[in-house]
Amino acid sequence: MRLLRNGLLTLRLDALRAKWRHAGTAATANTANIRSCVCQDGLIANDNSPTSSAASPTGPAGRSSAPASPADPNLVAADDFTAPALDTDRWSVYDSTNPNGSTWAGKMVQVTGGELRIVGVGRNPTGAGNVSGGLCWCGTDGDRVYGKWQVRARFEAGAGYGPVIGLWPESDKENDGSIGFADCRVADRGTMRGYTVSALGTTKYFEQPVAGDFTAWHTYTVEWRQRLVRMYVDGKVFFDSTRQAGVVPPTVPMHLYLQQLVGPGDDVPAPDAHTPDAVTMHVDWVRVYR
């Protein structure tokens, strides 16, 4: 892996223009707004396998949704999406209308074929009438202070839709900080970024972009501790908060969210004539560790 920029980007909140819709809790799973940075550069090797092996959850081996083997004593929760429907004790699905007239609808979040799919449909260049989805693990075992999260996913290419995986505070307050560890808004899915939002009186963003083929399967990992945030793609570190002065990790309970933004807006381009009939964010499994 080769990062195309040295160090992390530090951005002041008042210099940021983009926003995305995020529903942070089960009670407010329709309308919270937060600001974000711009997704740009980096380098990750392809992984064309559907999922990693059971023995090596970060590697590019064959498909398996089984828990890690041997069992990791720090593993506290997992979902491999092999049940016939979404586990609503854990997951809350978003249902909202976005400023550009697009919507997030529960029907666009589907469990099928042993995976979770968040589907985006519509080519209206204004966004109006286009639809996708999102959800948060904000129920059972969801909110935690510190730990490690892993998500095995791939993102289909298509202008107008932008997949994001991250951690959001249980408080649903932007000023409590947040983490994005797989944010890929460019149409070709050739660049992805990770970032930490630190609340230090003036909220600051610390970002690292990385390049690769993110239409392929990868395992995205974030390790969040009291004094550090590290992010990995297939076991390779691409973001390390200890290498940048000023990064203060969040300190409040947070939970995992998975969503597909609908453009134009939020740094997601408008759909165009080349946008497929459906643009899908595929998730094979999720694991949560102490």
Q: Is residue 184 part of a domain?
A: yes
pLDDT band (50, 70, 90) for residue 15: very low
* 221 vs 61: CA distance, rounded Å: 17
Q: Is residue 239 part of a domain?
A: yes
Q: Is residue 59 part of a domain?
A: no
**pLDDT score recorded for residue 33:** 29
Is the pLDDT assigned to residue 164 strictly greater than 50?
A: yes
**pLDDT score recorded for residue 202:** 57
Q: Is residue 118 part of a domain?
A: yes
**pLDDT score recorded for residue 244:** 86
Say how far residue 170 (Cα) sits from the centre of its chain.
16
* 166 vs 221: CA distance, rounded Å: 10
**pLDDT score recorded for residue 203:** 65
Is the pLDDT assigned to residue 45 strictly greater than 80?
A: no
Query: What value does the mean pLDDT of the chain take?
Result: 82
Among 20-34, 102-116, 192-206, 226-240, where is mean pLDDT lowest?
Answer: 20-34
Q: Is residue 247 part of a domain?
A: yes
Q: What is the pTM of this model?
A: 0.83
Q: Is residue 127 part of a domain?
A: yes
pLDDT band (50, 70, 90) for residue 205: confident
* Domain limits for position 230: 9-47+70-289
How many beta carbons lie within 10 A of that of residue 15, not counting itself? Answer: 9
pLDDT band (50, 70, 90) for residue 70: low
Q: Is residue 2 part of a domain?
A: no
CATH assignment of the domain containing 109? 2.60.120.200
Q: How many domains does the chain have?
A: 1
Q: Is residue 63 part of a domain?
A: no
Bridge partners, 210 (sequence order): 192
The amino acid present at 255, given as its one-letter code, is H
- The answer to whether residues 214 and 41 touch, using CB atoms and an 8 Å cutoff, is no
Is residue 65 left, alpha or beta, with left meaning phi > 0 and alpha meaning psi from -120 to 50? Answer: alpha
